[in-house]
A and B are shown apart, each in its own frame.
Chain A
Amino acid sequence: GEDVEQSLFLSVREGDSSVINCTYTDSSSTYLYWYKQEPGAGLQLLTYIFSNMDMKQDQRLTVLLNKKDKHLSLRIADTQTGDSAIYFCAETLPMDSSYKLIFGSGTRLLVRP
């Protein structure tokens, strides 16, 4: 089946690293994404990783993918108060001639000063 799971809440101190975890069930995923949603706003694509990659780094963001365990993580280095938001993990699944995006329920990150 298709399921994407995330922990609901993470609290870190400003300047520390944050690690948000995600597990998924469908091994046919092609792309995996991390989206950020700030209060009252839409989703903003942060980064993505193709399923044949293990790691992707983009400035303060590091994405790790363990295909064997179907585990995806997002590490934010030097976390800032502006990073406080809800982070959604999502996977792309092929569907007929197109694809569909399956979202996790989101992890609320709170950065304490």
Chain B
Amino acid sequence: NAGVTQTPKFQVLKTGQSMTLQCAQDMNHEYMSWYRQDPGMGLRLIHYSVGAGITDQGEVPNGYNVSRSTTEDFPLRLLLAAPSQTSVYFCASSPRLAGGYTDTQYFGPGTRLTVL
């Protein structure tokens, strides 16, 4: 298994540009999520999905869109990039146990995004 993969690893955008951060997992996990990590702060949840066709907002969803057309893929879209979105983005996935709780998340290696 490749686990959780993210592309690209690094990206530089200009303000107002759009792009999609890709995330894929080959573990047949139901639950996938996107986090951003900023200096001196923990990870903050942007959006999450509990299964194909289902997405919901996390703690900091503004400026980001997601979709989940397959179990494997969970892309994150920035429609109008802003300097405040400069961050490291992590995708994570986890299996879903009976009762809706799980005991571990698997993280991708991250995408470092700079918006000028």
Contacts and interface: CB of A to CB of B under 8 A. Distances in A.
Interface of A: 4, 8, 30-31, 33, 35, 41-45, 48, 50, 88, 90, 92, 94, 97-106
Interface of A is mostly: strand
Contacts of A43: 43, 90, 92, 107
Interface in B7-60: 31, 33, 35, 40-45, 48, 50, 56, 58-59
B62 interface: no
Interface string B71-103: 000000000000000000010100010001111
Given A31-B103, A104-B42, A41 B109 contact: yes
A50 B106 CA distance: 18
Contacts, number: 62
Contact of B41 (A30, A33, A92, A105): A105
A111 B105 CA distance: 27
A44 B101 contact: no
Nearest to B106: A45
Contacts of B100: 94, 97-99
Q: How large is the interface on B (under 10, 10 to 19, 20 to 34, 35 or more residues)?
A: 20 to 34
Contacts of B44: 103
A101 B105 contact: yes
10 contacts: A31-B103, A35-B107, A42-B110, A43-B92, A97-B100, A98-B50, A99-B101, A100-B59, A105-B40, A105-B41
